[in-house]
């Protein structure tokens, strides 16, 4: 992709996009004779405008047409909607030809701060041709309605599906083909594909499980079963006190993967989370910690568990806080 140009890459597609550089589609130009009453009838008049990254506009065009009567040496026409650069004496040169059967090469230029261009030739003819790529004073009046960027992005990017990255659309409440940013609704991700989110079963961790093990033990009901793949894991876990504490209580947590037998360890996160409840913690107080990382699952139906170990003499048994206080889920990354 060119320097100073951004883009959106989807597979092998690069979509040009930048707020600085602009370009119009090719448009039909409106031309008017400035040669007295000698009308100019265009055979074809095409042009496009474009701006660079610092906002300088240029105009590229080809015009072929016939004057009503023979023009001697210096015809002139005006192009609607453009104004050539207003620098004094900046007569930007054009390529000009005269005649049809044996055309003569001529010369020409544009008038500074005008919409007019002129030709110069020793030959005479009704047929004249002008072409050029010249600097403008500003954006043409017809540019905004014909901007290349006005094409919808879905011209370039196909719709997303469960297995293919692409444009994500909101079906309800939004125009079809309009991309969604920061919205929760969009294309569903099917099981087994990148982006799939797997949460624990319907029941959250039980409030009935007291935390007492001095070595790593399973956190009641906090597990998910995964197919082969690499996953990002996130656990947001809360614990509570049945009665007020008299000293600190420490809980260390990690996430480990086991075969379907639930006991054969195959991988574990190197990261762990540490939570200390204060010595003066009140009864029913709830404390939370977040644990995040990645895990590689190499065998289908691997059981990934949230585990803990406890150390403390604070009294008042700790337990798993129920409901929305605790969450545990995995997102497939590959």
- Higher pLDDT residue, 24 or 1? 24
Nearest to 135 by CA among 222, 61, 218: 61
Nearest to 211 by CA among 246, 248, 243, 240: 240
pLDDT at 69 over 50: yes
pLDDT at 295 over 50: yes
Q: What is the mean pLDDT of residues 199-212?
A: 59
What share of the chain in percent tops pLDDT 70? 71
pLDDT tens track for 155-183: 556 665 555 555 555 444 444 444 444 44
pLDDT at 334: 78
pLDDT tens track for 137-147: 999 999 988 88
pLDDT at 106: 86
3-state secondary structure of 323: helix
The pLDDT mean for the chain works out to 75
End-to-end CA distance of the chain: 27
Q: What is the largest CA-CA distance in the chain?
A: 109
Listed range (20-34, 35-49, 81-95, 253-267) with the worst mean pLDDT: 253-267
Domain-by-domain residue ranges, the chain? Answer: 6-145, 197-332
Q: What is the mean pLDDT of residues 201-206?
A: 52
pLDDT at 188: 53
pLDDT at 209 over 70: no
What share of the chain in percent tops pLDDT 90? 21
- Higher pLDDT residue, 31 or 195? 31
pLDDT at 4 over 50: no
Most confident among 90-99, 186-195, 213-222 (mean pLDDT): 90-99
- Cβ proximity of 186 and 172 under 8 Å: no
Nearest to 279 by CA among 313, 318, 317, 239: 313
Listed range (4-13, 54-63, 260-269) with the worst mean pLDDT: 4-13
From residue 290, alpha-carbon distances to 10, 97, 243, 257 in Å are 34, 76, 24, 18
Q: What is the mean pLDDT of residues 242-263?
A: 76
Q: What's the rounded Cα separation, in Å, for the pair 45 and 62? A: 6
> In residues, how long is the chain?
334
* Displacement of CA 301 from its chain's centroid (Å): 35
pLDDT at 185 over 50: no
Q: What is the mean pLDDT of residues 291-314?
A: 80
Q: What is the mean pLDDT of residues 265-290?
A: 75
pLDDT at 132 over 70: yes
pLDDT at 253 over 90: no
Q: What is the mean pLDDT of residues 244-256?
A: 77
How is domain 197-332 classified at the architecture level of CATH? Sandwich (2.60)
3-state secondary structure of 144: helix
Nearest to 332 by CA among 236, 230, 262, 241: 230
pLDDT at 60 over 80: yes
For the purposes of burial, counting CB atoms within 10 Å of the CB of 23, is it exposed (0-12), middle (13-18) or buried (19 or more)?
A: middle
* Whole-model pTM over 0.75: no
pLDDT at 82: 96
């Amino acid at each position: 992709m060119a320097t100073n140009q951004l883009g959106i890459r989807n597979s092998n597609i690069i979509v040009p996009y930048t707020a600085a550089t602009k370009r119009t589609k090719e448009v039909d130009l409106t031309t008017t004779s400035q040669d007295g009453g000698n009308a100019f009838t265009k055979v074809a008049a095409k042009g496009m405008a474009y701006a660079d990254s610092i906002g300088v506009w240029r105009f590229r065009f080809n015009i072929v047409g016939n004057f009503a009567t023979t023009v001697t040496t210096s015809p002139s026409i005006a192009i609607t909607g453009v104004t050539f650069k207003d620098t004094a004496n900046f007569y930007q040169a054009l390529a000009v030809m005269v005649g049809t059967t044996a055309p003569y090469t001529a010369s020409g230029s544009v008038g500074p701060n005008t919409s007019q261009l002129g030709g110069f030739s020793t030959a005479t003819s009704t047929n004249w041709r002008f072409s050029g790529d010249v600097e403008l004073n500003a954006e043409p009046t017809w540019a905004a309605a014909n901007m290349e960027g006005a094409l919808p992005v879905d011209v370039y990017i196909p719709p997303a599906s469960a297995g293919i990255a692409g444009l994500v659309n909101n079906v309800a409440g939004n125009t079809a083909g309009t991309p969604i940013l920061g919205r929760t609704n969009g294309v569903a991700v099917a099981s087994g594909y990148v982006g799939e989110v797997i949460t624990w079963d319907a029941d959250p961790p039980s409030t009935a499980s007291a935390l007492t093990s001095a070595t790593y033990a399973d956190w009641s009901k906090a597990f998910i079963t995964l197919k082969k793949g690499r996953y990002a894991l996130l656990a947001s876990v809360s614990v509570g006190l049945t009665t007020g504490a008299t000293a600190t209580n420490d809980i260390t947590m990690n996430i480990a993967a086991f075969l379907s037998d639930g006991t054969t360890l195959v991988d574990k996160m190197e990261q762990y989370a540490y939570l200390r409840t204060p010595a003066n913690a009140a009864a029913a107080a709830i404390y939370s910690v977040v644990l995040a990382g990645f895990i590689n699952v190499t065998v289908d139906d691997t059981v990934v568990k949230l585990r803990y170990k406890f150390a403390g003499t604070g009294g008042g048994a700790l337990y798993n806080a129920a409901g929305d206080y605790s969450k545990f889920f995995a997102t497939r990354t590959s």
